[in-house]
Every structure is written in C-alpha cells, then in structure tokens.
Amino acid sequence: MIPRHPLVLVGGALVVVQCALALFAPLIAPYDPIGQNIINRMEAPSLSFLLGADQFGRDNFSRILYGYRASLAVSLVSVAIALLVGGSLGVISAFYRGWTDRVVMRCMDVLFAFPLILLAIAIISLLGPRQWTTAIAIGIVYTPIFARLLRGPALVLAESEFVVSARAIGAGDLRILLRHILPNLASVILVQASLSLSTAILVEASLSFLGIGTQPPTPSLGLMLAESRSYALISPWTSIFAGVAILTSSLGFNLLGDGLRDTLDPRLKGTE
C-alpha cells in the first residue's frame, strides 16, 4: 500500500530520484568526478558544465552525483547502526525494566547530553578519518535518540493485554519481543528513521565541512562545500550548488518522514 499523502509522494519522489542519481552516477556523469583540468577552473555554469566547475576544474555536476553516493551511504549506514543498537537497547530496557533499564538509560543520557558535533569529532579523532568511521560516529551519536524514542512506546506495549496474555500462555521473551512488540513499533521506527536520515545527511556535511568526514578527492557534498568556501568570493557556484544539493537530499527524507507520520500514526503528530 502506498500512502497517498502528498508529502509522502513528494518526499518519496525526491528520495527515489536522488537514490537513482547516486546509483547510476557512473552512467549519468558527463565527466570523471576526480579528473582535474585547471583550464576549466571555476567555470560558470554553461552547456558543457551544467553546474560549473570547481577550483581544480572538476565538473560540479558529476561531483554532486557522486557526492550523493557518499552522503547517502554514510547516512544510511549510520542510521542503521543507531537503529539496531539504540533501538534494541531501548526495547530491552523497557521490557526488563528495573536495573537494566536504569543502567542502560543513564548511559544513553550521558551520550545524549554531549554536544552532538563534539561527540562525533572525538569519535572520529579516535578512529581516524575514513568514510566508515564517519558512519560509525554518527551512528553512535544517534543511538540514544532511538533508544529513548522506542523505550516509551515499548513500555506501553509491554504492559498491553496481548503481551500479558502471550506471556500467560508461556511465550518466551524473545518470541514476545520479535512477534508482538517489534511489529507494533514499525511505524515509529519508519518515521524516526527517515527523519534521522534527513539530519544524518546534515551532520555528515558538517563533519566534512570541518574537515573530518569524507576524505578528498572522493566527492561528498559537505566536502565540496568546505573546499569551495575560501573561493566563494571569486566563484560562488560550487558552494551554492553543493549547498542546494545537501538541502534537497535532506529535504526529501524529511518530507517523507513528516508525511509518514501523518499517515501512519496520528498520535505521533505531536512529537518532533
């Protein structure tokens, strides 16, 4: 069933188009994204360079296509990590309560309290700057968000009648968790995951912007923005288009999440 909510449609379309662009980048891109040719340095947008060229004469359009790849890959992996680790922790602490709950949630509080960017900086400094460490860092930063978010509804579910009766007929913990609790959390997860993807793209961009995310010459949207900003007074094109690309990719997931929230779970409307 495809929800016919306009936001879901618009957001979904944006996401699908961008994923397709990223996936088929090698087929679409007119130039090698890392091929340098300084004759074309800082060209304004034209028919041969649709979005202009950067300070090394690399084609912005091709780089943005490949940049979607890096940005989307990092955000997908990081949200998957956060969902798996944080989600399980949240559900487990809701299910077992007592000391497990307190210990786990206090650890999550410690992580959650840390300024997000600083935590990511520290983790990347420890692991060294690579694409996958960026993903891990963002994943860790987002872990407490999922833990907190899923704990609440899981708490209610664990007390609900069908769980109580399932337990009465002798179902094991794992079975209850997988068969009864998890499916009922699907909509919460779906909404939060797509909203998190939207912000993960921004965090990846900020980290690359600060020089500790994706490493050059691999094009990532944040990195393009970071590298071009000293040249913004001479040639603003790279900065502008990289910024717009970040905005649209984040926008797609956010619209999708917002729309999903409206359709799937009206009770969630009030939460942000």
**Judged by CB, which is closer to other proteins: 175, or 206?**
206
Considering the rule CB under 8 A, would residue 147 count as an interface residue with other proteins?
no
Binds other proteins (CB under 8 A): choice among 27, 128, 168, 169? 128
Binds other proteins (CB under 8 A): choice among 227, 237, 241, 260? 227
Q: How far apart are CA 184 and CA 163, in angstroms?
A: 11
Residues 6+ apart with CB under 8 A from 64: 51, 219, 221, 224, 241, 242, 245
- Shortest Å distance, C-beta 1 to other proteins: 21
Binds other proteins (CB under 8 A): choice among 78, 93, 206, 220? 206
Q: Which amino acid is present at 197?
A: L
Q: How far apart are CA 80 and CA 6, in angstroms?
A: 26
> CA Rg, the chain, in Å?
21
Q: What tokens were used for 151? A: 């704990």
Q: What tokens were used for 93? A: 């602490």
Q: How far apart are CA 257 and CA 263, in angstroms?
A: 10
Q: How far apart are CA 153 and CA 181, in angstroms?
A: 9
Binds other proteins (CB under 8 A): choice among 43, 225, 237, 260? 225
Q: How far apart are CA 168 and CA 45, in angstroms?
A: 69
Q: Which stretch binds other proteins (CB under 8 A): 45-53, 79-87, 186-194, 211-219?
A: 211-219
Binding mask 150-179 for other proteins (x = CB under 8 A): -----x------------------------
- Name which of residues 47 to 106 contact other proteins (CB under 8 A): 55-56, 97, 102, 106
Q: What tokens were used for 11? A: 């957001």
- Name which of residues 12 to 31 contact other proteins (CB under 8 A): none
- Shortest Å distance, C-beta 180 to other proteins: 19
- Around Cβ 65, how many Cβ atoms within 10 Å? 24
Q: How far apart are CA 229 and CA 170, in angstroms?
A: 63
Binding mask 97-116 for other proteins (x = CB under 8 A): x----x---xx-xx-xxxxx
Q: How far apart are CA 7 and CA 13, in angstroms?
A: 10
Q: Which amino acid is present at 128?
A: G
**Judged by CB, which is closer to other proteins: 125, or 165?**
125
- Shortest Å distance, C-beta 170 to other proteins: 25
Q: What tokens were used for 185? A: 């959390």
**Judged by CB, which is closer to other proteins: 24, or 213?**
213
Binding-site ranges for other proteins (CB under 8 A): 6-7, 10, 34, 36, 38, 41, 55-56, 97, 102, 106-107, 109-110, 112-118, 121-122, 125-126, 128-129, 155, 198, 202, 205-206, 209, 211-212, 215-217, 225, 227, 229-234, 236, 239-240, 243, 246-247, 250-251, 254-255, 258, 269-272
